[in-house]
Amino acid sequence: MAKIIKGKPVADKITEELSKEIENIKAKGGQPKLATLRVGERGDDIAYERGATKRAEKIGIEVASVVLPGDITQEDFIEELQKLNKDASVNGILIFRPLPKQIDESMIKNIIAPEKDIDCFSPVNVGKMTEGDPTGFNPCTPSAVMEILDFYGVEIKGAEASVIGSSMVVGKPVAMLLLNRKATVRVAHSKTRDTAAVARQGEILVVGVGVPKMVKEDWVSEGAVVIDVGINVDDEGNMSGDVDFEKVQKKASMITPVPRGVGSVTTTVLAKHVLKAYKQQN
Amino acid sequence: MAKIIKGKPVADKITEELSKEIENIKAKGGQPKLATLRVGERGDDIAYERGATKRAEKIGIEVASVVLPGDITQEDFIEELQKLNKDASVNGILIFRPLPKQIDESMIKNIIAPEKDIDCFSPVNVGKMTEGDPTGFNPCTPSAVMEILDFYGVEIKGAEASVIGSSMVVGKPVAMLLLNRKATVRVAHSKTRDTAAVARQGEILVVGVGVPKMVKEDWVSEGAVVIDVGINVDDEGNMSGDVDFEKVQKKASMITPVPRGVGSVTTTVLAKHVLKAYKQQN
């Protein structure tokens, strides 16, 4: 039976480190600050906003929550974003996505100040991630995957890693982060002929596709470390990952649960990035 | 025996298309222009500059060659670059790399105007490449690999692709371009335990590591399409790729030679990017 590797101990450890650092900063009169920028009242956004705010404040980061009407024009949205870009007291900006359709994301991502773009919306940060440039901000969820692997002592260098899914939210960035740490990486997706075969090659298997319980036990090699980034909620409100947890846990050596897995670390990584932005700016 | 897939027919076809387009632009009074920016007198740079200039001029692109002394300060270099950034008559800028060590490349890549950065030096373009954003400029050599695959009718979507090497010059970008076209991609590198096994899984095998003749016939699966991006020159001036051509050609279905393979397409892709930049700017 696999060891169940939860997110909380990982988040707790990072939180402790960040709290200490921020205490020191405050003692010298500094104050890291996050601005969240939400358009409209989508439940997902509100839930993530609440989680991120709670976590950041717990660590000692100030949070300014900007909420704009769901029918705001692109022009007005850009004006609000520019204010945050220019506001020297704001170190990090989190824009909840997807934005409503009257706002062109491909334009906005080029407007957010890269040095405040703590969740890798700007192509500048996507580029730095691909290059492995440590001055950039990697996206929070893929970074949370890496934090979990490191916390639980999983050797990445030289490991056979399989990533299922190639979205910009999970698959592609996870693949790049694993590659930059010198794993041997393979990526499968909807056009892959034999996804199970790719999955089985992974000593580390990361799944982020948004299909509940897609990964069965015969997709997983004996002793694999399985990181489930999927969050699926059924009609009755039950949450499950992309991995068939009950079955796969009999075969894996370690497995993240859903909930209480990767998702529990994401907002802590966000806070970590705010602190990084603060230090770069001061 | 493999079909030897040379670069010239690929370059010729693109050249023909570009020439027509540029003829039309000129008829309307327009003039696409490339500026090359070289520091010092490195033989590699001069050879590439000559090739790029010849190709661009043949197609009807004007070329301004800026050559700076090898001991130029970073400040002066930046000033020259800024001039090209601001010069509205210049559509594309090619900086020869590596730059001498008194110039910090990680700073320069953030100064070159992304919209003129036709060889993907700026993290903005690296990011757009990773995202698959068609407004960016992908690096020329990896793009040449894709042009060759397309010209010779190699199906990329759903294909099993193996990339050997994970540099920012070849391996990583090739992997991203293949992934964005929905190949199932695996990447091996110096820390990979069994590189031959990864190579053998590729129906498309792209190699860019800089080790002469590293890829032997037992690394290649029967019927694979082999793209050799390596350019190695021995003490006697003989050029070879990273693939043991004589042996591998017996097993592959198609194989690029070195020389006269990928390298023959790179400067044509560069010219294509100058035209793209011109059109975006006008």
A149 and A218 within one domain: yes
Rounded Cα distance between A280 and B170, Å, is: 31
Q: Do B160 and A193 touch (CB under 8 A)?
A: yes
What pLDDT does residue A277 have?
98
- A147 found inside a domain: yes
- pLDDT, one tens digit per residue, over B120-177 is 999 999 999 999 999 999 999 999 999 999 999 999 999 999 999 999 999 999 999 9
Same structural domain, A156 and A249: yes
Q: Does residue B194 share a domain with residue B100?
A: no
In B, minimum Cα distance to A128 occurs at: B123
In-domain check, residue A105: yes
What range defines the domain where residue A64 resides?
29-115
Residues of chain A neighbouring B107 (CB-CB closer than 8 A):
none
Residue A166 at interface with chain B, using a CB cutoff of 8 Å: yes
Kindly list the residues from chain B whose CB atom is less than 8 angstroms away from the CB atom of residue A192.
158, 184
CA dihedral B64, B272, B126, B48 (to 10 degrees): -50
Distance from CA of B188 to the nearest CA of A (A): 5
Residue A197: which CATH number? 3.40.50.720
Backbone angles phi, psi at A195, to 5 degrees: -65, -35
* Percent of chain B residues topping a pLDDT of 70: 100
User: Considering the domain boundaries, does residue B271 fall inside one?
Assistant: no
Residue A69: CB partners within 8 Å, gap ≥ 6? A39, A40
**How many C-beta atoms lie closer than 10 Å to residue A247's C-beta?**
15
Lateral strand order in the sheet of B62-68: B62-68, B33-39, B92-95
The H-assigned helical ranges of chain A are: 8-27, 43-59, 74-86, 105-108, 123-131, 140-151, 171-180, 195-200, 245-248, 263-281
Looking at chain B, which residue has its C-alpha nearest residue A167? Answer: B131
List all residues 6 or more positions away from B35 whose beta carbon is below 8 Å from its beta carbon: B63, B64, B65, B66, B84, B87, B90, B92, B93, B94
- A152 and A199 together in one domain: yes
Distance CA B35, CA B65 (A): 6
Q: Looking at residue B41, what is its pLDDT?
A: 96
Q: Determine, yes or no, domain membership for A127.
A: no
Q: Which residues of B touch A163 (CB under 8 A)?
A: none
Is A240 within a domain? yes
A203 in the same domain as A89: no
- Give the distance from residue B238's alpha carbon to the nearest chain A alpha carbon, in angstroms: 32
From chain B, pick out residues whose CB is under 8 angstroms from the CB of A123: 123-128, 131, 133, 136
Label residue B210 by pLDDT band (50, 70, 90): very high
A126/B126 CB distance under 8 A? yes
Is A227 marked within a binding site? no
Which residues from chain A sit within 8 angstroms of residue B104, using beta carbons?
Answer: none
State which residues of chain A have pLDDT below 70. none
Chain B, 102 to 131: residues with Cβ < 8 Å from chain A are 106, 110, 122-131
Q: What is the secondary structure of chain B as a DSSP string?
A: --EE--SHHHHHHHHHHHHHHHHHHHHTT---EEEEEEES--HHHHHHHHHHHHHHHHHT-EEEEEEE-TT--HHHHHHHHHHHHH-TT--EEEE-SSPPTTS-HHHHTTTS-GGGBTTS-SHHHHHHHHHT-TTS---HHHHHHHHHHHHTT---TT-EEEEE---TTTHHHHHHHHHHTT-EEEEE-TT-S-HHHHHHT-SEEEE-S--TT-B-GGGS-TT-EEEE---EE-TTS-EE-SB-HHHHTTT-SEE--SSSSTHHHHHHHHHHHHHHHHHHH-
Q: Does A167 touch chain B (CB under 8 A)?
A: no
The answer to whether position B280 is within a domain reads: no
- Count the domains in chain B: 2
Hey, which residues does A94 pair with through a beta bridge?
A36
Last residue within a domain, chosen from A115, A132, A151: A115
Beta bridge partners of A67: A38
Q: Could you tell me if residue A131 is inside a domain?
A: no
For A72-113, how does the pLDDT look when each residue is reduced to its tens digit (9 = 90+)?
999 999 999 999 999 999 999 999 999 999 999 999 999 999
% residues pLDDT > 90 (chain B): 98
pLDDT category at B237 given cuts 50, 70, 90 is confident
Find out whether B120 and B169 touch, Cβ atoms under 8 Å: no
